[in-house]
Structure 1
C-alpha cells in the first residue's frame, strides 16, 4: 500500500463521519487519462476532502510555504502535492502540472487561489485556464458545499467533464477559459446547495 492510499484511508475514516460527507456525481469522474480537477475553495480542509472523495489519486498544487520545512516537504511530496508560489507566474509549477497531465494523471486545483470568505464561488485565476488549454486533459468541475461544521452535512459534487474542444480550437485566453470553468463550478454549487 502506498503512503497516499494509507493517508487517504485514515483521513477518510475521520472526515467522512465527522462532516457527514455526501458525494454526488462520482460517476462523472473519468477513470483513465489526464484529468484537471477544479474545485471551489471554502476551507483548509478542501484538499483532503476532495482527495478522499475522488476515485483516483490527485496531484494537488499547494502553496510553496507548505514545503518550507524538511518534514512538511516530505509529507506534501508523499501525498502527491507540488509547490506553487502564489501571487506570481510560477513557471516551474506550470511545467510540473503539465508533466503530470501528459503522464495521464489527475491534477487538482482551487482556481480561486484563496479561500472564499463567505462560502460563495469567486473569480478564478488564469492558471486553471492555462492547464485546460495547454493539455488534452478532461476538465472536471467540483463544488464543495459547506460549511465545515461537525455532524452537519457537507456535499462534494463532481460535474460532467467540460467540453473544451471549441475553446482550444479558438485559442481563447487563459482568463476566459478559467471563467468557463468557474461558471460550471458555480452552476453545480447553485444546483446542489440547500436553499
Structure 2
C-alpha cells in the first residue's frame, strides 16, 4: 500500500466520524482525465477533507514553508503535495500543476489562496483561471460547508464540471476565468446550505 492510500485511510478514519463528513455530488466527478478541483477555503483541515471526499487521488499545492517542517516535510511529497511560493508567480509550481493535469491526474486548488475568516467566499487568485485555460482538464467546483465543529455535520459538495468552451471562446483572461469558477463554488454553497 502506498503512503497516499495509507494516509487517506488514516485521515478518513479520524475526520469522518469526528466531523460527520457528508459527501454529495460524487456523480459529477469525472472518472478519468485531468481534473482541476477548485474549492472554497474555510479551515486548515480543508486539504485532507477534500482529499478524503474526492473519489480519486488529489495533488495539492502546499505553501513552501510546510516542506521545512520536520516529519511533515517528508510526508507531503508522498501524499502528492508539492511546494508553492506565496504570491503565485512561482513558475516551477505552475509547471508542476500543469504536468499533473496533463498526465490526467487531479489537481486540488483553493483559489482564494488563504482561509476565509468569515466563512464567506473571498476573491479567487488568477492561478485557478491559469490552470483552467492552459490545460484541457475538467474544472470541478467544490464547496465545503461547515463549520468544523466536532460531531456536527460537515458537507463536501462537488458540482458538475464547468463548461469551459464559452470561456475559451470569449478569450477571457485568467482572472475573469477564476471569477467564473468562484461563482460556481458560491452557487454550490448557496444551493446546499
TM-score range, shorter chain: over 0.9
1:191 aligns with 2:191: yes
Match of 1:15 in 2: 15
In structure 2, runs of 5+ residues without a counterpart are none
Matched, 1:141 2:154: no
Calculate the TM-score normalised by the size of structure 1.
0.97
CA RMSD in angstroms comes to 0.9
1:88 Cα deviation after fit: 4.4
Give the corresponding residue for 1:101.
Answer: 101
Change (3 A) 1:161 1:88: closer
Corresponding residue for residue 176 of structure 1: 176
SS in 1 for 2:71: helix
Q: What residue is the counterpart of 2:91 in the other structure?
A: 91
Residue 168 of structure 1 and its aligned partner are, at CA, apart by 1.7
Structure 2: how far apart are the matches of 1:16 and 1:71?
A: 24
Quote the Cα distance in structure 1 between the aligned partners of 2:65 and 2:26.
31
The list of structure 1 runs, each at least 4 consecutive aligned residues, that deviate by more than 4 angstroms after superposition, is none
Question: Using the alignment, how far apart are the partners of 2:60 and 2:95 within structure 1?
Answer: 14
Aligned to 1:164: 164
Aligned residues: 193
Offset of residue 72 of structure 1: 2.5
8 Å CA contact 2:88, 2:127 repeated in 1: no
Distance verdict in 2 for CA 1:101–1:187, change over 3 Å:
same
State the alpha-carbon separation in 2 of the partners of residues 181 and 58 from structure 1.
18
Q: TM-score, normalised by structure 2?
A: 0.98
Give 1:69 shift.
3.9
Deviation at residue 87 of structure 1 after TM alignment: 2.1
Per-residue deviation, 1:165: 0.9
1:38 paired residue number = 38
Q: Structure 1: where are the runs of 5+ without partners?
A: none
Aligned partner of residue 162 in structure 2, secondary structure: coil
Looking at structure 1, the residues matched to 150 and 29 of structure 2 have their Cα atoms a distance apart, in angstroms, of: 27
